[in-house]
Amino acid sequence: MKIKRIKLKNIRSHEDSEIEFHKGINVFTGRTGSGKSTILLAIEYGLFGSDAGISSSAILRRGKPSGYIEIELEEKGDTYKIVRGLKRKGKTISIDPSKMAIYKNEKLLPIIGRAGDLNARVLDILNYPEGIKPKEIFEITSYTKQDEIRALIELRPEKRQDYIDKILQLSKYKTTWENMRDIISHFEMKLQEIKGFIDGLKDIGNEKKEIEEKIGALKDIIKGINEELNSLRTKSIDATKEVKELELERNEILAKRRSYDELKGRILSLEKENKNIEKEINNLEDEISEIKPRIKENHLDYDKIKEKLMDLKNLINLNKEKLSDVSIEIEKIQNLGEGKCPVCKQPVTKKHLENVNKEFEKAKKEIENKIKELEGDYKKLEPKLKAAEETKKLEEKYTLLNEKLKDYQNRLTRNNEEIVDLNSKLTSYEFDNKKLNMLEEELQEKKKIETELISKITALSREHTLRKSELQEKANELMKINDEIKKLNESAERMKHLEFIINILSKLRNDIRNIREVVRRNFLEDFRQEFQKKFEEIRKFEEEYSVDIKNDYEPVTYSSSGEEVPISNLSGGEKTSIALAYRLALADIAAQISDITPSEILILDEPTTGFDKEDVKALPEALRNIKTIPQIIIVTHEEELKNAGDYKFEVSKEFGKSIINEI
């Protein structure tokens, strides 16, 4: 794996940072707190998420609602881009599914928006094995944290051995040895349980025999009940058949009686209705006889009289209008006086005015007389209109009464016809009442027999159910006993099998003790060769010293004369070279054990912590001599380490935000 690029958006002090990593040595320098270590923290979190042991709340920039880490890396010739997002909701910080993605050669890979699915994809890309924490593999093979570069060679032997045994996963052999003791104890306990079970089932044969005898007796009882039930059911079927036949014959007679009663009831209803109709007809005929002569006596034409009265009223109104016009003209003449006529402009004399006035007065008198004459005619005609109106009402009532009389006469005719028809039908619905009574008595007797049979069948069925239930219980008991006998036989076989397993496991447990030492010896030889190869690479095949590893993993040095030289007597540069070679060799061996590709990246976080000035000066040359790792990323506050870098980055902080400049 080589990292090509990383982008940080609202990650701790990095508000918006993007870094291009290169092949070779990439050195990040800057003051403490400038945000250098955040870059390495983001790499580990971006790859493994919460599996890196880093809290989400420690990643997102304070006060920002969201942020993300985007890492672009190269693995086995393919380019991958991994995106992890975070979001804030209240005081809680969680993953952001909308910013959760992984690309292969710029093509989006299908994943569910969950961190677990993304983590599984990353482990698959890096070929990390299941069952081992990815953080541990990454930090052993690729990532050396502060104060760890020389920690392994300076640890006490027992601490160093525990650490490397953990990498080798040798603890699983001890755990297996301890767990096998519990497994053997478990099998021994099961063996004792089986023995106790077998002892408790020795008398089961007698119990089985008693149950089988009881089952035989119950089967005989049930057989007798079934025979009796079959006989009763046959009788019950015959009795039910006879009841149905009697009910059918009785219902036919009852149907005739109901029809006869319905017809008879209808006839009586119609006869009663006819009496009321005849009474109404008599009343109507009396009323018509009383009205008819009154119409002949007062026969007047109401419409003609009303029309004549309207004509008189119109003439009266017309003459009243004429009278009004004449009165107006008379008033004008009286007010005119002597002088010129306002119309013709001729002279008007007093005599002329008197003559004209007389003429208008005469015309007025004639109109008034005409009005009196018309009003007199109107008053004479008004009583006749009232009499004609009364006559008209009598005629209307006479017509209505005749229509009603006709309707009643029609209804009487229809009812009489229906009565004749119904009387003719009555003969077809005559029934034998004596036979009906005999059928009712016979039916009651048959129903009584049927009920008694049903009662006996019900009682026997109940007993049959109880006996069947009892038989089933005994059958279940027998089944359980047979199961127990089967288990007893199986337990005897299991007991032999368990005794064999316990014997094998006991021998295997003893053999496991020795496996760890065999594995350690095989690993130690590979580790020794890799350590020597890495040391020669870093020291450029110098002949002054050679290195080796003791059985407790302690590194040792030998002078050219073959004399062992304590590491504490070496110079700072020599110690640093040994520590780096030891660390790199261990990383390669760990990769082989985990069946992953040897690391192509080395990340060093403040590698000079605890170094003196001589050690710091020696580290750049040692790093430049490492040719088997294509990419090295160093975070340091030491200015001297800039000389080791092929690419140099300066990290500073301005107004609380980290700024990265490539030098």
Q: Is residue 310 part of a domain?
A: yes
Lowest mean pLDDT among 37-46, 262-271, 366-375: 366-375
Separation of alpha carbons 70 and 374, rounded Å: 121
Residue type, 522: N
Q: Is residue 418 part of a domain?
A: yes
Residues spanned by the domain of 358? 298-429
Separation of alpha carbons 436 and 251, rounded Å: 9
Q: Give the closest residue to 344 by CA, choosing from 352, 14, 536.
A: 352
We report the CATH number of the domain holding residue 358 as 1.10.287.510
Helix (H) or strand (E) holding 293: helix 204-297
Q: Is residue 515 part of a domain?
A: no
Separation of alpha carbons 69 and 7, rounded Å: 6
The pairing of strands 657-662 and 78-89 is unpaired
Q: Is residue 305 part of a domain?
A: yes
DSSP label at residue 24: E
Cβ pair 138, 88 in contact under 8 A: no
Task: Provide the 10 A C-beta neighbour count for residue 582.
Answer: 24
Task: Provide the 10 A C-beta neighbour count for residue 73.
Answer: 23
| 3-state class (DSSP) for residue 636 | strand
The 10s digit of each residue's pLDDT in 136-186 is 888 888 888 876 777 777 788 888 887 777 776 666 777 777 788 888 888
The 10s digit of each residue's pLDDT in 562-618 is 888 888 888 777 787 888 888 888 888 877 776 677 788 999 888 887 777 777 777
Report how far apart, in Å, the C-alpha atoms of 20 and of each of 4, 49, 297, 567, 657 are: 6, 21, 133, 39, 19
The 10s digit of each residue's pLDDT in 70-82 is 999 999 899 999 9
DSSP label at residue 432: -
C-alpha atoms less than 13 angstroms from C-alpha of 21 in its C-beta half-sphere? 29
Is the pLDDT at 436 greater than 90, yes or no? Answer: no
Task: Identify the residue whose tokens are 């890979």.
Answer: 109
Separation of alpha carbons 440 and 37, rounded Å: 110
Helix (H) or strand (E) holding 74: strand 66-75
Q: What are phi and psi of 430, to 5 degrees?
A: -70, 145
Helix 134-141 crosses helix 36-48 at what angle (to 10 degrees)? 130
Lowest mean pLDDT among 237-241, 300-304, 469-473, 598-602: 300-304
Please provide the DSSP assignment of 129-191 as one string: PTTS-HHHHHHHHTEE-TT-TTHHHHS-HHHHHHHHHHHHTTHHHHHHHHHHHHHHHHHHHHH
Q: What is the mean pLDDT of residues 630-655?
A: 89
Cβ pair 225, 467 in contact under 8 A: yes
Q: What is the tally of structural domains in the chain?
A: 1
DSSP label at residue 631: E
Report residue 130 as tokens. 């299941």
Lowest mean pLDDT among 97-101, 571-575, 626-630, 639-643: 571-575
Q: Is residue 266 part of a domain?
A: no
pLDDT at 45: 94
Separation of alpha carbons 657 and 605, rounded Å: 21
Q: Give the closest residue to 370 by CA, choosing from 331, 318, 408.
A: 318
Q: List residues bridging with 631 in a β-sheet.
A: 24, 601
Helix 350-426 crosses helix 204-297 at what angle (to 10 degrees)? 130
Query: What is the distance between the terminal CA atoms of the chain, rounded to a whole angstrom?
Result: 25
pLDDT-derived band of residue 68, with 50, 70 and 90 as boundaries? very high
Is the pLDDT at 216 greater than 70, yes or no? Answer: yes
Q: Give the closest residue to 146 by CA, choosing from 638, 617, 637, 604.
A: 604
Residue type, 241: K
Q: What is the mean pLDDT of residues 351-357?
A: 75
Separation of alpha carbons 328 and 357, rounded Å: 12
Question: For all residues of the chain together, what is the average pLDDT?
Answer: 84
Separation of alpha carbons 38 and 60, rounded Å: 11
* Cα–Cα–Cα angle for 260, 254, 243, rounded to 5 degrees: 170
pLDDT at 617: 79
Please provide the DSSP assignment of 554-578 as one string: -EEEEETTS-EE-GGGS-HHHHHHH
Is the pLDDT at 349 greater than 80, yes or no? Answer: no
Instruction: Express as a percent the part of the chain with pLDDT over 90.
Output: 28
Residues contacting 581, CB < 8 A, separation 6+: 531, 534, 535, 537, 538, 547
Cβ pair 626, 3 in contact under 8 A: no
Residue type, 550: K
pLDDT-derived band of residue 343, with 50, 70 and 90 as boundaries? very low
Report how far apart, in Å, the C-alpha atoms of 522 and of each of 54, 124, 461, 512, 525 are: 35, 28, 83, 16, 6
Q: Give the closest residue to 601 by CA, choosing from 640, 570, 634, 573.
A: 634
Separation of alpha carbons 71 and 5, rounded Å: 6
Q: Give the closest residue to 38 by CA, choosing from 660, 662, 645.
A: 660
DSSP label at residue 7: E
Cβ pair 646, 598 in contact under 8 A: no
Cβ pair 76, 86 in contact under 8 A: no
The 10s digit of each residue's pLDDT in 489-542 is 777 778 888 888 888 888 887 877 777 777 778 888 888 888 888 888 887 755
Q: Give the closest residue to 490 by CA, choosing from 482, 478, 501, 479.
A: 482
Cβ pair 626, 537 in contact under 8 A: yes
Is the pLDDT at 21 greater than 90, yes or no? Answer: yes
Separation of alpha carbons 74 and 411, rounded Å: 112
Q: Is residue 372 part of a domain?
A: yes
Q: Is residue 392 part of a domain?
A: yes
Q: Is residue 420 part of a domain?
A: yes
Sheet holding 631-636, edge to edge: 143-144, 601-605, 631-636, 24-29, 647-654, 657-662
Residues contacting 519, CB < 8 A, separation 6+: 168, 170, 173
Instruction: Express as a percent the part of the chain with pLDDT over 70.
Output: 94
| 3-state class (DSSP) for residue 273 | helix
